[in-house]
Amino acid sequence: MRSAEASGFAGRRWTRRGLLRTAAVTAVAVPLAAPAIAACTAQQPPSAPDPLTALVTAAESDARAAQAAAAAFPDNAATLNVVASVRQQHAAALRAEVNRANTTPTTSGSPTTETTGTSAPPAPASEGAAMSQLTGNLRTAQQQAAGLVPTLPRYRAGLVGSVSAGCASVLEALGA
Amino acid sequence: MSGTMATDTASALQQALGTEYAAIWVCGLASAFAGGGVTPELAAAQTTHQARRDAVQRLLTDAGQTPALAQPAYVLPQPVNSQASALAMLAVAEADATVAWRAVLERTDDAGLRQTALTALTDSAVRETRWRRLAGISPASVPMPGQPS
Encode pLDDT of B37-75 as tens digits. 899 999 999 999 999 999 999 999 999 999 999 998 898
CA proximity to B63, closest of B19, B108, B93, B126: B108
The rounded radius of gyration (Å) of the Cα atoms in chain A is: 22
Alpha-carbon distance B105 to A153, whole Å?
10
With 90 as the cut, is the pLDDT of residue A135 above it? yes
CB contact under 8 A, B125 and A169: yes
Out of B7, B14, B106, name the one closest to residue A158 (CB).
B106
* Over residues B129-145, mean pLDDT: 96
Nearest CA-CA partner of B52 in B87, B5, B93:
B93
Q: Which residue has the higher pLDDT, A29 or B46?
A: B46
Q: Which residue has the higher pLDDT, A70 or A21?
A: A70
CA B8 to chain centre: 19
Q: What is the pLDDT of residue A25?
A: 37
Highest mean pLDDT among A7-21, A119-133, B12-26: B12-26
Contact at CB, B105 and A169, closer than 8 angstroms: no
By CB atoms closer than 10 A (0-12, 13-18, 19+), residue A65 is buried
- B26 contact A CB<8A: no
Q: Where are the beta strands (DSSP E) in B49-128?
A: none
pLDDT at residue B92, rounded to an integer: 96
Of B107, B148, B118, B120, nearest to A149 by C-alpha is B118
Sign of CA dihedral A146, A162, B108, A49: positive
Q: How far apart are CA A82 and CA B22, in angstroms?
A: 30
Identify the pLDDT of residue A130: 92
Work out the pLDDT band at B149, boundaries 50, 70, 90: confident
Report chain B's mean pLDDT, rounded to a whole number: 95
In Å, how far is B80's CA from the nearest CA of chain A?
24
- In this complex, do A166 and B144 lie within 8 Å of one another by their Cβ atoms? yes
Position A7 scores a pLDDT of 32
- Those of residues 41-100 in A touching chain B at CB distance below 8 A are 82, 85-86, 89-90, 93
What letter represents residue A113's amino acid?
Answer: T
The Cα–Cα gap between A165 and B67 comes to: 27
Q: A94, A152, A169: best mutation site toward chain B, by most B Cβ within 10 Å?
A: A169
The whole-number pLDDT of residue A1 equals 30
State the average pLDDT over residues B136-149: 94
What value does the mean pLDDT take over residues B127-133?
Answer: 97
pLDDT above 70 for A111: no
Q: Which amino acid is at B36?
A: G
Q: Provide the shortest C-alpha distance from residue A165 to chain B (in Å).
A: 5
At residue A11, the pLDDT reads 30
Least confident of A56-60, A125-129, B26-30: A125-129
Determine the Cα–Cα distance for residues B20 and B68; give it in Å rounded to an integer: 11
A85 neighbors A77 (Cβ within 8 angstroms): no
Scored b (16 or more CB within 10 A) or e, B5-27 reads beeebbbbbbbbbbbbbbbbbbb
Give me the pLDDT at residue A39, please: 41
Express the helix, strand and coil content of chain A in percent, nearest 5 each.
Answer: 75, 0, 25
User: pLDDT value at position A96?
Assistant: 97
What pLDDT is stored for residue A118 in this prediction? 55
pLDDT > 70: what percent of chain A? 62
